[in-house]
Amino acid sequence: MYLSRHCRYHSRINDTAIMVSSFLIDVATYNWPPSRGEPFHWWKQRIDTPQYSTGSTGIGYIIIRVFSKITSPLLSGDPPLRFPMMRDRQLFSAVLLILAFVSLQKLCYCDDQTVLYESFDEAFDGRWIVSKNGDYEGVWKHEKSEGHDDYGLLVSEKARKYGIVKVLDEPLNLKDGTIVLQYEVRFQEGLECGGAYLKYLRPQEAGWTPEGFDSESPYSIMFGPDKCGATNKVHFILKHKNPKRGEYVEHHLKFPPSVPYDKLSHVYTAILKPDNEVRILVDGEEKKKANLLSGEDFEPALIPDKTIPDPEDKKPEDWDERAKIPDPNAVKPDDWDEDAPMEIEDEEAEKPEGWLDDEPEEVDDPEATKPEDWDDEEDGMWEAPKIDNPKCEAAPGCGEWKRPMKKNPAYKGKWSAPMIDNPAYKGIWKPRDIPNPDYFELDRPDYEPIAAIGIEIWTMQDGILFDNILIAKDEKVAESYRQTTWKPKFDVEKEKQKEEEKAAESADGLKSYQKVVFDLLNKVADISFLSAYKSKITELIEKAEEQPNLTIGVLVSIVIVFFSLFIKLIFGGKKAAPAASVEKKKPEVGESSKSGDESEKKEETAALRKRQPRRDN
């Protein structure tokens, strides 16, 4: 119990430290057998107890096993080895306690450097409070990450608002030393429109409760991915109080990194340094470095400009901003004709020989006939459709010949005076600068403490999984958590993704091959001398399209058909019967063709009726 309290927010590494240290303390305080020569069978019995053999990590159990293998022969044997110090109970117990202390101090590093760590290994009820605000209907679930035994906090429904908050035991002061904010998030169904950022809330007003958490709950820092439409960035927003006006202003990081577009687990890290540097890491790789006090890195800048334009200043009425003006002394030349056209007829052009002046470009279609069912009263006077005049195809042209137009060399357009420098030009006017009444100086941002962590999002996707939320005071601690909690999962997911992409590429290749085969077979089925086999070939193609895995079999079947046909053509066969049968069927075919022709004729008539314009005489 002491160890658990000493390292309140421990990871798997610290589970190992606690197990090993507990074992060493247990052995050191054990009531040893009275006989020195008696073998220490109790040692193995202690190791195999559920307390150690079924711990939360196998690493601690392995360490204990190795320790027992090394020391057990030294303490018992036939004959026992002589180690006076080791045989002395007090000295031996002291050595074990020292080892336990070292194990705790070296491995359980989180007591001083880890402010909060949430692994979601256990259900979040009680530690995280779901908002009871009516807008937040989304249901949070404690679920495993897809493909892992690792649990997280899951966004379970689409198109919902979600709100949940975790209150810290005591507010965290951000002004002292380095602060690291880190957490994992996985978009298991992808992310088209939604946020997955965390809000690090400042102390709330009196009477506020976690159940009332909403979008208006004030925060100190907002950090994390957000993607929707043109927005695709990892937010870092500092809400800072202007000491002059007493108002809180959101300062947004300029040019933030983009959000990885996949379904893998990613870890986002923000490191705030005492020298005002902020670094944004994605999967442990630095994506952005900025200075909190720089106007080039944050919009708006934390420190306002020393001067501002005077809002009361007015531009004088005689202020001339024209750099160029028309020359007042310029006069239009006497030979400048403003009425001259831009183009004139080419007088040198001659009509081509063979031009058919009396022939129209279009004539009535001589083959067109008035449909039998045409009603002049309903449809208007029927006129034959127009076609290009065939006589004009061989001639250079038909109809009235006109000279082509050319550019008028005398054209000058409207005259305007040339521009000269304006002697009264004073430049572009701007109001004078005055001291900024809201200006202040800062050595460091005046951070508000972090009193709670909130997730307040509106997302169109489900399957968003939050995990391993960390607040630490050392970059190395955050790196250690990334390596032990995120990296193994990411490697597994990445390998699975590669396998799926490889399988998809193979499937795409097969689909392309199948498409080529189907296109070829459809062309083969349309060959005229294979008309007797078309129905069979078409049936095989349809089966193959319904079941793509049969493509090879279908191809083989059609090859057999071709081979059979080839054999028949080479060696001949009985042909009289098919001919007779065709002759017998000719009347039926004729009747069918006749009805088909009548049908086609009706369709053509309807089409002509649609195309024929009504003309007013």
According to DSSP, residue 482 is labeled I
DSSP string, 234-259: EEEEEEEE-TTT--EEEEEESSPPPP
Q: Which two tokens stand for residue 1?
A: 């119990």
**Omega within 30 of 0 (cis) for the link into 352:** no
Domain housing 279: 116-305+444-494
Residue 323 placed within a domain: no
Our measurement of the distance from residue 224's CA atom to the centroid of its chain's CA atoms, rounded to an integer in Å, reads: 14
Q: Is pLDDT of 18 > 50? A: yes
Q: Is pLDDT of 27 > 80? A: no
Q: d(Cα 231, Cα 215) in Å, to the nearest integer?
A: 19
CATH value at residue 195:
2.60.120.200
Which one, of 279, 290, 286, 270, lies nearest residue 478 by Cα? 270
**What 3-state DSSP class applies to 122?**
coil
Which residue, of 62, 78, 108, is where some domain finishes? 108
Which residue, of 458, 476, 494, is where some domain finishes? 494
Q: Is pLDDT of 522 > 60? A: yes
Where does the pLDDT of residue 596 fall: very low under 50, low under 70, confident under 90, or very high at 90 and above?
very low
- pLDDT at residue number 605: 43
Q: Does 284 share its domain with 155?
A: yes
Residue 404 placed within a domain: no
Q: Does 555 share its domain with 583?
A: no
Q: d(Cα 135, Cα 154) in Å, to the nearest integer?
A: 18
Looking at residues 413-442, what average pLDDT do you find? 93
In 3-state terms, the chain is what percent helix, strand and coil (to 5)?
35, 25, 40
Where does the pLDDT of residue 586 fall: very low under 50, low under 70, confident under 90, or very high at 90 and above?
very low
Q: Contact, 198 vs 454, CB < 8 A?
A: yes
Q: What is the largest CA-CA distance in the chain?
A: 138
Residue 334 placed within a domain: no
More confident residue, 168 or 571: 168
Looking at residues 243-254, what average pLDDT do you find? 92
Q: Does 591 share its domain with 559?
A: no
Q: Does 475 share its domain with 534?
A: no
Q: Is pLDDT of 579 > 50? A: no
Where does the pLDDT of residue 617 fall: very low under 50, low under 70, confident under 90, or very high at 90 and above?
very low
- pLDDT at residue number 376: 87
Q: Contact, 181 vs 269, CB < 8 A?
A: yes
DSSP string, 504-532: HHHHHHHHHHHHHHHHHHHHHHT-GGGGG
Q: d(Cα 574, Cα 581) in Å, to the nearest integer?
A: 13
Q: Are strands 151-155 and 114-118 parallel, antiparallel or unpaired?
A: unpaired
Separation in Å, CA 34 to CA 40, 77, 90, 98, 518: 11, 16, 14, 24, 88
Q: Contact, 224 vs 472, CB < 8 A?
A: no
- pLDDT at residue number 509: 56
- For 1-5, 319-323, 391-395, 477-481, which range has the lowest pLDDT when averaged over its residues? 1-5
Which residue, of 52, 85, 108, is where some domain finishes? 108
| Mean of all residue pLDDT scores within the chain | 78
Q: Is pLDDT of 104 > 80? A: no
Angle at which helices 89-107 and 12-28 cross, to 10°: 170
Residue 417 placed within a domain: no
Q: How many other CB atoms are there within 10 angstroms of residue 301's CB atom?
A: 15
Q: Does 226 share its domain with 370?
A: no
Q: d(Cα 201, Cα 223) in Å, to the nearest integer?
A: 11
Q: Does 299 share its domain with 155?
A: yes
- For 43-52, 264-273, 574-583, which range has the lowest pLDDT when averaged over its residues? 574-583
Q: Which residues of 431-450 are buried (b: 16+ CB within 10 A; e: fewer)?
A: eeeeeeeeeeeeeebebbbb
Where does the pLDDT of residue 231 fall: very low under 50, low under 70, confident under 90, or very high at 90 and above?
confident
- pLDDT at residue number 114: 84
- pLDDT at residue number 377: 87
Where does the pLDDT of residue 461 fall: very low under 50, low under 70, confident under 90, or very high at 90 and above?
confident
Residue 510 placed within a domain: yes
Residue 320 placed within a domain: no
Where does the pLDDT of residue 550 fall: very low under 50, low under 70, confident under 90, or very high at 90 and above?
low
Q: d(Cα 565, Cα 559) in Å, to the nearest integer?
A: 10
User: What's at 341, amino acid-wise?
Assistant: P
Tell me the percentage of the chain whose pLDDT exceeds 70. 64
Q: d(Cα 528, Cα 541) in Å, to the nearest integer?
A: 18
- pLDDT at residue number 435: 94
Strand partners, 65: none
- Which of 533-536's residues contact partners 24+ apart within 8 Å by CB, and which partners? 533/561, 533/565, 536/561
33-89 residue pLDDT tens: 444 444 444 444 554 555 444 444 445 555 555 555 555 555 554 444 444 444 455
Which one, of 260, 285, 329, lies nearest residue 493 by Cα? 260
- pLDDT at residue number 583: 42
Where does the pLDDT of residue 555 fall: very low under 50, low under 70, confident under 90, or very high at 90 and above?
low
Where does the pLDDT of residue 103 fall: very low under 50, low under 70, confident under 90, or very high at 90 and above?
low
87-96 residue pLDDT tens: 455 566 666 5
Residue 163 placed within a domain: yes
Q: Does 155 share its domain with 252?
A: yes
Q: Contact, 233 vs 258, CB < 8 A?
A: yes
Q: Does 264 share its domain with 146?
A: yes
Residue 311 placed within a domain: no
- pLDDT at residue number 248: 93
Length of the chain: 617
Q: Is pLDDT of 612 > 70? A: no
Q: Does 548 share its domain with 585?
A: no
Q: Does 11 share its domain with 43?
A: yes
Where does the pLDDT of residue 470 fall: very low under 50, low under 70, confident under 90, or very high at 90 and above?
very high
Q: Which two tokens stand for residue 408?
A: 């008028």
Q: d(Cα 283, Cα 280) in Å, to the nearest integer?
A: 10
Angle at which helices 534-546 and 551-571 cross, to 10°: 170
Where does the pLDDT of residue 502 fall: very low under 50, low under 70, confident under 90, or very high at 90 and above?
confident
Q: Does 616 share its domain with 584?
A: yes
Please state the domain count of the chain: 4
Where does the pLDDT of residue 98 fall: very low under 50, low under 70, confident under 90, or very high at 90 and above?
confident
Where does the pLDDT of residue 518 fall: very low under 50, low under 70, confident under 90, or very high at 90 and above?
low
Q: Does 123 share its domain with 172?
A: yes
Who's near 132: CB < 8 A, 6+ residues apart?
211, 212
Strand locations in 173-323 (E): 179-187, 193-195, 198-201, 219-228, 231-241, 248-253, 265-272, 277-282, 285-291, 298-299, 307-309
User: What's at 151, amino acid-wise?
Assistant: Y
- pLDDT at residue number 577: 43
